[in-house]
Chains A and B, each alone.
Chain A
């Protein structure tokens, strides 16, 4: 499976949960902690992110940066070197 990761800016997250329902891997959840604004922010709870960018697309705060495994072709080239 393609590996991905997300970086969620907890400072600006408003805990709206729209990313949670957009994630096909159910990898996101609200934290039990609050940020400075008093919102429960979102965290990646399972390491199953595929880097599909769905969460970042619906995030109203533009708080999510998404990372994905480099393209396989590129990777093979690296490994044969």
Chain B
């Protein structure tokens, strides 16, 4: 299986230990901005699908936002949904095809702004789907406007003096909110800011797909991510911003875990 490659000292034999998913991820370059977390999560989802051997049984629902073209990259059955409605579309798919693995992939503008009602009611009904929630604190696709998740004081194109909490309210912590609903089975917040975070996120996604078989409720994985373009930062600066400013408000870790 693994390719062999040799360094200058020919006695050291190397074997392949990591390569991009070859089956579930199409071999085409991502359209995302340099350093954007969307690409990492796309790859991880498809790695998990490939490793669990469920490519044929997986159906994804793509959102509106930068990841609107998720189906260009994910080699599984996919359906596009209207802005914010991914979890409603996924509900329909899962109810007609209850043995398929169904997931939605949504940004914070999609899942926590225009799609708030769909999100809350989907989880409240305990639909047996996985919802992947990419929280980059901003509307990336449309030019970096303020999202419900934007940090207090954060400058965006629609909050040029920083988010004024007294006027627009405090950031909406959707993940904590839906964790209180009885239909939520597994709720966790992860990140992609360093290699260990990526390893943990992959574990969370794997568990979520496995839990779907049990038909016990909704699995919800928030990913604290970045939007270097919308934040007007270099990718490296955006990683520092996640660590310094996002984590105090959006701490990573499990919020609701199934009782064994």
Interface residues of A (CB under 8 A from B): 3-5, 7, 11-12, 14-18, 21-22, 39, 47, 51-54, 56-70, 75
A52–B34 alpha-carbon span in the complex (Å): 23
**A3-B9, A61-B29, A63-B20 known, 4 other contacts, Cβ within 8 Å:** A16-B235, A21-B236, A58-B192, A69-B13
Interface residues of B (CB under 8 A from A): 3, 5, 7-9, 12-21, 25, 29-30, 32-40, 43, 192, 194-195, 198-199, 228, 234-236, 239
A62–B195 alpha-carbon span in the complex (Å): 13
- Shortest CB-to-CB span from A33 to chain B, Å, is 17
Q: Which of A15, A22, A52, A61 has the most CB of B within 10 A?
A: A61
Chain A residues with Cβ below 8 Å from B199 are 57
Q: Contact check: which of B29, B30, B32, B40 meets A58 at CB < 8 Å?
A: B40
Q: With A3-B12, A5-B7, A61-B39 as given contacts, are A17 and B236 in contact (CB-CB < 8 Å)? A: yes
- Shortest CB-to-CB span from A7 to chain B, Å, is 8
Chain B residues with Cβ below 8 Å from A75 are 13
- Shortest CB-to-CB span from B105 to chain A, Å, is 15
Establish whether residues A68 and B39, one from each chain, have CB atoms under 8 Å apart when the complex forms.
Answer: no
| CB < 8 Å A-B pair total | 99
Establish whether residues B236 and A3, one from each chain, have CB atoms under 8 Å apart when the complex forms.
Answer: no
Q: Contact check: which of B5, B36, B236 meets A60 at CB < 8 Å?
A: B36
Establish whether residues A60 and B37, one from each chain, have CB atoms under 8 Å apart when the complex forms.
Answer: yes
Chain B residues with Cβ below 8 Å from A15 are 34
- Shortest CB-to-CB span from B80 to chain A, Å, is 22
- Shortest CB-to-CB span from B41 to chain A, Å, is 9
- Shortest CB-to-CB span from A2 to chain B, Å, is 10
Chain B residues with Cβ below 8 Å from A51 are 14, 17
Establish whether residues A60 and B195, one from each chain, have CB atoms under 8 Å apart when the complex forms.
Answer: no
Establish whether residues A47 and B7, one from each chain, have CB atoms under 8 Å apart when the complex forms.
Answer: yes
A3–B39 alpha-carbon span in the complex (Å): 29
A66–B19 alpha-carbon span in the complex (Å): 7
User: Could you jot down 14 A-B contacts, CB within 8 Å?
Assistant: A3-B7, A12-B29, A14-B33, A15-B34, A16-B35, A18-B35, A18-B235, A51-B14, A53-B17, A54-B195, A56-B18, A58-B40, A62-B25, A65-B20
Chain A residues with Cβ below 8 Å from B236 are 16-18, 21
Establish whether residues A22 and B195, one from each chain, have CB atoms under 8 Å apart when the complex forms.
Answer: yes
Those 8 A-B pairs whose CB atoms lie nearest each other, nearest first:
A16-B35, A62-B20, A14-B34, A60-B39, A67-B14, A54-B195, A16-B34, A16-B235
